[in-house]
Amino acid sequence: MTVVTRIAPSPTGDPHVGTAYVGLFNYAYARRHGGRFVLRIEDTDRERYQADAETHILEMFAWLGIAPDESPLAGGPNGPYKQSERLEIYQAHIDQLLNAGVAYRAFETEEELEAMRKEQKQRGLKLGYDGRGRTLPKEEQDARANNGEPHVIRLATPDEGETAFDDLLRGQIAIGNDEIRDPVLIKSDGYPTYHFANVVDDHLMGVTHVMRAEEWVTSTPIHVLLYQAFGWTLPTFAHLPLLRNPDKSKISKRKLDTSVASYREQGILPEALLNFLATMGWSMPDGREVFTLDEMVDAFDPARISLGGPVFDLKKLRHLNGVYLRDVLDLEEVARRVTPLFEQAGYPQDDPEYLLDVVDVLRPRAETLNDFVDQGGYFFVDTLDYTDDARKRIAGGQQVLEDLERELSMLDVFDEDAIDDVLEDYMRSRELKKPAVLMPLRAALTGTTNAPSVTDLIAILGRSRVLTRIGRALSDMTSSLPDDHPSDEDAAETEAKPKAKAKDPAQGPSA
């Protein structure tokens, strides 16, 4: 029997990391066993339905590189893959249960149900539907339904005994039948509930392994009862641990960023997100913590899933992302991915070799793709903004800058050795320490004090840019003497940028 797994997200909002997580494990299991992975849209809640959510879910999986074998987009032999398009199927199946007397139509109004709960609370009884509608004769049920009276269809569940199932990860789980109230199968709007639709669809789509989040454990007996009512064989159930907020509660967007699109926008790589998610509850047999999707597939064994709810740790995700940026992806690939980001930020890219050099030198400092843009914009502008610190360094090193502007202008070959020689000679001849020379230079070249090696900067920027930037830093300083007050260092910090900007136009004509 070929393995069939599925992910069944409901289109109710931004695609969730939990969906990606469960999808990943289902995908890995199916692939590992040469089976099929199905994506089914569970859009039976018309209240929470969001029109564009389905597209976003599909896009998310595409971005992650998790390709379903069957989906609304890919199609497949078991479609349609949207529950809203399968209403006739549910209709036919509910009729079976109705005719068999396993399900019944219930006509209680919301007020009635509320009153029932209230009374249960007062009398200290168990909360939940008490099965009062079961006694209504079938003829009467049908008559009232034919009359157009709103109603739901419920499953008549046993009152005694217990319903058990085997969980692949947890062993046998048994729940008393008195815990299972007659659950609604078909809502009054005619749409099926999750309980009903997922059982019917999983069976019809040939799903062999239901791997889903732990929150479903206690309602699994309902599903078991349904499988039994239809006379279908049970799939294997595997309830995955729930991703957690830092406070250990079930992951939620109130406490954590749960949107996959948001991580994408922050410059997180799909490979890194997947790798991170994979380590939430699962581990490689050899202990490796950095591995690809394919490597996970090859090694995937549910027996290695640990059941404690893993806390979603942003810091670790970011670190892993950094590892991918500098150790896993090659330079060209990183450059390729960062190109559109630079362009969106207003730094058109027309020199691939230059970009490669820039990425190479920025890489050790980047945790996300966005870091390249945030930290490396100065490579691509003609007019720099200077931070407050940078201005101080420039102001304190004017002589150095003047000297080096001259020295460098006489240099023919701008390679690292030659640059180093110039700098070394200069420092030696003036008996200056490295920081005294390099920091003003770094500030003049980048507008900031946090940047790569000065030698690298000079080599990458090249003669023309280097001389222009030094010259501009010098003229900028001489025309802004008031900035040199050494006393108001901290207070001026937030003003630094606007000030620098305000002054630029004044120097502008040459640019």
Partner RNA sequence: GGCCCCUUCGACUAGCGGUUAGGUCACCACCCUUUCAAGGUGGCGGCACGAGUUCGAAUCUCGUAGGGGUCACCA
Near RNA in 246-265, by CB under 7 A: 247-250
Q: Are 35 and 9 in contact (CB under 8 A)?
A: no
Sheet with 184-186, edge to edge strand ranges: 103-106, 152-155, 184-186
Nearer to RNA, 50 or 478 (CB): 50
Q: Which of residues 345-364 bind RNA (CB under 7 A)?
A: 364
| Span from 61-69, 150-158, 341-349, 461-469 in contact with RNA (CB under 7 A) | 150-158
Packing angle, helices 434-446 and 398-409, rounded to 10: 80
Nearer to RNA, 343 or 430 (CB): 430
Q: Which of residues 117-146 bind RNA (CB under 7 A)?
A: 117, 126-129
Q: Out of 14, 15, 35, 44, which residue is the one contacting RNA (CB under 7 A)?
A: 44
Closest CA to 220 of 165, 266, 264: 165
Q: Out of 236, 259, 283, 339, which residue is the one contacting RNA (CB under 7 A)?
A: 283
Taking the complex as a whole, the smallest distance from the CB of residue 238 to RNA amounts, in Å, to 12
User: Binding pattern to RNA, positions 308-347, x when CB under 7 A?
Assistant: xxxx-x-xx--x--xx--x---------------------
Taking the complex as a whole, the smallest distance from the CB of residue 173 to RNA amounts, in Å, to 4
**193 binds RNA per the rule CB under 7 A:** yes
Q: What is the residue whose two structure tokens read 């590189």?
A: 65
499 catalytic per annotation: no
Q: Which of residues 410-449 bind RNA (CB under 7 A)?
A: 434-435, 438-439, 442, 449
Q: Which of residues 215-244 bind RNA (CB under 7 A)?
A: 215-219, 241-242, 244
Taking the complex as a whole, the smallest distance from the CB of residue 479 to RNA amounts, in Å, to 26
Q: Are 10 and 16 in contact (CB under 8 A)?
A: no
Q: Out of 3, 4, 7, 8, which residue is the one contacting RNA (CB under 7 A)?
A: 8
Assigned token pair, 111: 């007020």
In three-state form (DSSP H/G/I as H, E/B as E, the rest C), the secondary structure along 178-245 is HHCCCCEEECCCCCECHHHHHHHHHHHCCCCEEEEEHHHHHHHHHHHHHHHHHCCCCCEEEEECCCEC
Nearer to RNA, 195 or 472 (CB): 195
Which is the catalytic residue, given 82, 187, 250, 253?
253
Taking the complex as a whole, the smallest distance from the CB of residue 508 to RNA amounts, in Å, to 27
Q: Are 162 and 174 in contact (CB under 8 A)?
A: yes
C-alpha distance across the termini of the chain, in Å = 71
Taking the complex as a whole, the smallest distance from the CB of residue 428 to RNA amounts, in Å, to 13
Q: Are 165 and 228 in contact (CB under 8 A)?
A: no
Assigned token pair, 66: 């998790």
Residues annotated as catalytic (active site), given as ranges: 253
